[in-house]
Amino acid sequence: MLTDKNIAHGISSISQRAERIPDNDKVIQTYVEVGILPQITNKNNQIIYGRRGTGKTHLLRYLENELIKKGPCITVYLDCRTLGSASEYNNPGMLLGRRCATLFKDIIDQLYDRALHFIAYRAPRDAERAIEALDNISSASRFRADESTSIEITERILEKGASESSASLSVNPLNLSLGGKDAQGRDIETTKKYNVQNTETILFPDLNYWMHKLVDYCGAQVYFLIDEWSSLPIDIQPYLAEFFRRSFLPMPQITVKIAALEYRSNFTIQREKNHHIGFELGSDISTNLDLDDYYVVDRNPNAITNNFGEMLFKHISNELEENYLYRYFDVSDGREMIRTLFTDPNNFQELVRASEGVIRDMINIFTLSFFDTQRQGKAKIDKKSVIESSRQWFERDKAQSLDGDLQTILRKIVDEVIGNRKARSFLIPRELEKHDNLQKLFDARVIHLIKRGYADKDNPGVRYNVFGLDYGTYVDLLNTNRKPELEWLDEDYRTEDDAFIVPFDDRRSIRRIILSEAILSSSHLL
């Protein structure tokens, strides 16, 4: 397979991001169900968390197709990075009200387009009334927020014996004069300029009324599928949540699904007396689904390896002629493909571990391994190639995203956890889980969340989150003078070519590896 030019071209053609797949059929054909879909194919309002590369976009696009198959529905897929007025709502120089207004308008415009498409193709019985409702929805939400008008007012007052008084009012571009004046008098003229803000607001009662009419006339459920929520400016996010809460969440005929990065999302602003702006998490919208939980390799390595193998098989197959792999290589599923491509199926499991449960990273490391093996003239991918490719991907992608401070913090963690404690996992107290530097390292995929709410029997009442250092951070050390002491590895971790895999951590070994705030702080850099 490694010498086949069509397969090589197919592998190099795999889209690294679901949004770059123009053909929706490919999105459907490359999806692998791991137990997530039944939890979201419903009418519940939900937030779906997951790191970059875990398949949130792929899931939403596949869900959209499934919803359309189930029955009449209007699906409004929103990529928050590409909303039409992004330049305005991302402009910190604009007033917050106007930035929010442009965003709301874009969302209503998207709803208008998708609903109009539904009406045109499904031709509901009350199509004319549905279109009228759409127009009224647009009217209820179309406004010019914070539009400034310049007004100049000039006053003239007569003094010193004047028998009459006069006043002149000038409002640009109109001028209006009243009264007269005595020629013997002396007048004093004062001009003042004012900026008047003309702000119209969303008419929520009207919007709600016409949304009810729209879904009634169309006979359809409306689904908002909101992707890349965390790309929105953090100060706008609660107000967008409030917009959805007031406009759509009260209606059972409307469902909102949001894909977001947990630590880069802000859904609520708390106010006094239990009042808030935005979603009340757990009440208005559920937050119990995290894609990362399904791809923690150490929990169930065999199942996740099989799932990732099937994903890889489908991605490669869809870049080739139909049944190409079966016709020429007798390969019809992921397991057979792995046996054909790798010297040992365990080598692919090692590749999956190197990806740390991130599908996009798995595809990239595999691609590097494939072409590295091909250049060397080898027949199959061995473990040494997997490890080297994981190191290259860490250097090319993950390490490059870290600034100097984060690189230093990561080095401190590596020195403490791997160097001093001879482990790869560590504990972080729950009160530090939102520490900015910890979040940045997590977003960069150089540390990974393994388990939430870990209880240490030696510290009753205290909860921790278990994190693990990235596979690549470990293998990157193998070529440096900070190479880990290899005697702490079991003989089972050696391979036929003397390469080493990264060992699984014994959970008992991490009980004493509790990192403090000091090690995460930029003020305590080396």
Model confidence over 444-462: pLDDT tens digits? 889 988 888 888 777 777 8
Give the C-alpha distances (Å, rounded to integers) separating 474 from 35, 175, 203, 387.
31, 77, 56, 10
Task: Name the 3-class secondary structure at 508.
Answer: helix
Residue 381 to residue 341: CA distance in whole angstroms: 6
For the chain, percent of residues with pLDDT exceeding 90: 45
- Asked if 220 and 320 sit in the same domain, the reply is no
Q: What is the extent of the structural domain holding 183? A: 147-198
Residue of 515 and 486 predicted with greater confidence: 515
Residue 440 lies in a domain: yes
The CATH number that applies at residue 389 is 1.10.8.60
- Asked if 174 and 288 sit in the same domain, the reply is no
What's the structural domain count of the chain?
4
The chain-wide mean pLDDT, for the chain, equals 82
The per-residue pLDDT for 242 is 92
> Residue 149 pLDDT more than 70?
no
Residue 18 lies in a domain: no
Boundary residue ending a domain (272, 294, 316): 294
> What secondary structure, in 3-state letters, does 150-175 show?
EEEEEEEEEECCCCCCEEEEEECCEE
DSSP code for 406: H
The per-residue pLDDT for 25 is 81
- Asked if 194 and 226 sit in the same domain, the reply is no
The per-residue pLDDT for 248 is 92
Residue 330 lies in a domain: yes
- Among 54-58, 275-279, 298-302, the range scoring the smallest mean pLDDT is 298-302
> Residue 3 pLDDT more than 70?
yes
Give pLDDT tens digits for 384-412. Answer: 999 999 989 998 888 888 888 999 999 89
- Asked if 61 and 118 sit in the same domain, the reply is yes
Residue 3 lies in a domain: no
The per-residue pLDDT for 452 is 84
- Residue 96's closest CA among 87, 88, 84? 88
- Asked if 126 and 43 sit in the same domain, the reply is yes
Are 501 and 493 a contacting pair, CB within 8 Å? yes
Boundary residue ending a domain (155, 173, 198): 198
- Asked if 320 and 340 sit in the same domain, the reply is yes
**How much is the average pLDDT of 1-27?**
82
Residue 41 lies in a domain: yes
- Residue 72's closest CA among 31, 21, 117, 112? 117
Boundary residue ending a domain (398, 426, 461): 398
DSSP code for 504: P
Residue 432 neighbours by CB under 8 Å, 6+ apart: 438, 517, 520
Q: Give, to the nearest 10 degrees, the angle between helix 345-355 and helix 301-317.
A: 90
For the chain, percent of residues with pLDDT exceeding 70: 79
The CATH number that applies at residue 79 is 3.40.50
- Asked if 216 and 97 sit in the same domain, the reply is yes
- Asked if 126 and 157 sit in the same domain, the reply is no
Residue 21 lies in a domain: no
Are 338 and 316 a contacting pair, CB within 8 Å? no
- Asked if 245 and 124 sit in the same domain, the reply is yes
- Asked if 237 and 281 sit in the same domain, the reply is yes
Are 357 and 54 a contacting pair, CB within 8 Å? yes
What distance, in Å, lies between the first and last C-alpha atoms of the chain?
A: 49
The per-residue pLDDT for 177 is 38
Virtual torsion, Cα 303, 309, 310, 313, nearest 10 deg: 180
Give pLDDT tens digits for 190-244. Answer: 665 555 454 546 778 888 899 999 999 999 999 999 999 999 999 999 999 999 9
Residue 105 lies in a domain: yes
> Residue 77 pLDDT more than 60?
yes
> Residue 37 pLDDT more than 90?
yes
**How much is the average pLDDT of 302-326?**
94
> Residue 315 pLDDT more than 90?
yes
Residue of 177 and 520 predicted with greater confidence: 520
Give pLDDT tens digits for 88-120. Answer: 777 777 778 778 888 888 899 999 999 999 999
Residue 498 to residue 496: CA distance in whole angstroms: 6
- Asked if 284 and 325 sit in the same domain, the reply is no
- Asked if 102 and 246 sit in the same domain, the reply is yes
Residue 131: phi and psi, rounded to 5, are -65, -40
The per-residue pLDDT for 491 is 41
Residue 453 lies in a domain: yes
